[in-house]
Amino acid sequence: MLFKSSDLLWVKNVKRDNGTDWAYYENSTEQRFKLNFSRTQIKQANLVKPGELILLFQKVDKVAGVSPRTYLTHLVTPIDYSEATENTLLTHDFKWEREVAVIAKASLDKKIFTQANNLSFFKPNWGKVCSISLLSENKSIEEIQNEVWRLFNGQFNNSVLTAIDIDEGEKLNLDSEISFLEGKEREAFRKHVWRERSPAIINICKKRAMEKGNLHCECCDFDFNHFYGSIGFSFIECHHRLPIANGGERKTRIEDLALVCANCHRMLHRKKDDGKYHTIESLKLIISKD
């Protein structure tokens, strides 16, 4: 699995036909679909980055044979950095869409729900993308993430690599050489061109480092988990040794990436007097002299 419980950062309420049907259970929603938002929900919708998971929940109270309650139905992530765009063909108020990949989807035969004293869905009940922390005042974010992850156990999308446009031949095999296509040009809603990054290979890079017990900055050796405790668990930034903005579309390997803290990452992207950028090695040398 490319994703882990700590990737679960957001929660959103969805609804279909005023609770008379299940949302996003139509045909062709197994791998990806267009997640809908109203105009007032656009700002929050655009905050979510690829690789960050959204828990979707819905109150179904008018379906024959289904007990009226709030159900947890999907874990999804945006497939790219594009902002929500308006679909003028839609006749309802939720015309703005972001395409998402399905990381987990609860079977209607094995519905997922929880009790209010465990996880409460009252606060994030207005359709906006909200922080996962709103689900409990008594639990830490990590506890909430682990609880939701446990509830979806056995219902994860085993072909998630297909959902996020990764070749079937590049499934997660940490003992073999892995590379992912990055740098493909896409035109964002604001009409500027950016270079697409693959969240999948970044997640794999972090996973490898965590398995080896060395998830720390490769420049200054800073360890977020050691310094901040549980809030810093699994957190670190990923730097492309060859800037993704240069060179166009290409295959990126694990070896092309470096895990760095936010401060060092900024310094790596700041030009020197000669107009060039520091490498991991040259920045590490500067730090070691201080």
Q: Are 35 and 76 in contact (CB under 8 A)?
A: yes
> What is the average pLDDT value for the chain, to the nearest integer?
82
Q: What is the mean pLDDT of residues 167-183?
A: 44
Are 233 and 125 in a shared domain?
A: no
Same-domain pairing of 175 and 103:
no
- If asked whether residues 171 and 200 sit together in one domain, one would say yes
**Could you tell me if 130 and 247 lie in one domain?**
no
What mean pLDDT do residues 114-143 have? 91
Q: For the segment 60-74, what is each residue's pLDDT rounded down to a tens digit?
A: 888 888 888 899 999
Confidence of residue 28 (pLDDT cuts 50, 70, 90): confident
How high is the pLDDT of residue 41? 94
Please state the rounded mean pLDDT for residues 127-147: 93
Co-location of 17 and 97 in the same domain: yes
Q: Are residues 30 and 137 in the same domain?
A: yes
Per the DSSP assignment, residues forming a β-bridge with 106 are none
Give 36's strand partners: 97
Name the percent of the chain lying above pLDDT 90: 46
Quick one: residue 143, left, alpha or beta (phi over 0 = left, psi -120 to 50 = alpha)?
Answer: alpha
Residue 117: is its pLDDT beyond 60?
A: yes
Look-up: residue for tokens 């060395």?
A: 214
Which residue range is the domain that position 279 belongs to? 166-289
Q: Are residues 150 and 256 in the same domain?
A: no
The residue among 103 and 213 whose pLDDT is bigger is: 103
Whether the predicted model's global pTM rises above the 0.75 cut: no
Q: Count of alpha carbons within 13 Å of 206, Cβ hemisphere only?
A: 23
Report the percent of the chain where pLDDT is more than 70: 81
CATH number of the structural domain spanning residue 44: 3.10.590.10
Q: What is the pLDDT of residue 164?
A: 61
Structural domain total, the chain: 2
Domain end point (choices 162, 193, 208)? 162
Same domain for 152 and 12, yes or no, is yes
Lowest average pLDDT, out of 1-10, 100-109, 115-124, 157-166, goes to: 157-166
Strands 96-105, 8-13: pairing is unpaired
- DSSP annotation of 112 reads B
More confident residue, 274 or 169: 274
* 38 and 180 fall within a common domain: no
Q: Are residues 241 and 263 in the same domain?
A: yes
**Model confidence pLDDT, tens digit, residues 217-261:** 999 999 998 899 888 888 888 888 877 555 555 566 888 889 999
Q: Are residues 233 and 123 in the same domain?
A: no
How many CA atoms lie within 13 Å of 92's alpha carbon, on the beta-carbon side?
10
**Could you tell me if 15 and 136 lie in one domain?**
yes
Asked which of 104, 134, 162 is the last residue of a domain, the reply is: 162
Given a cut of 50, is residue 132 above it in pLDDT? Answer: yes
Total Cβ atoms within 10 A of residue 82: 19
Tell me what pLDDT residue 66 has: 87
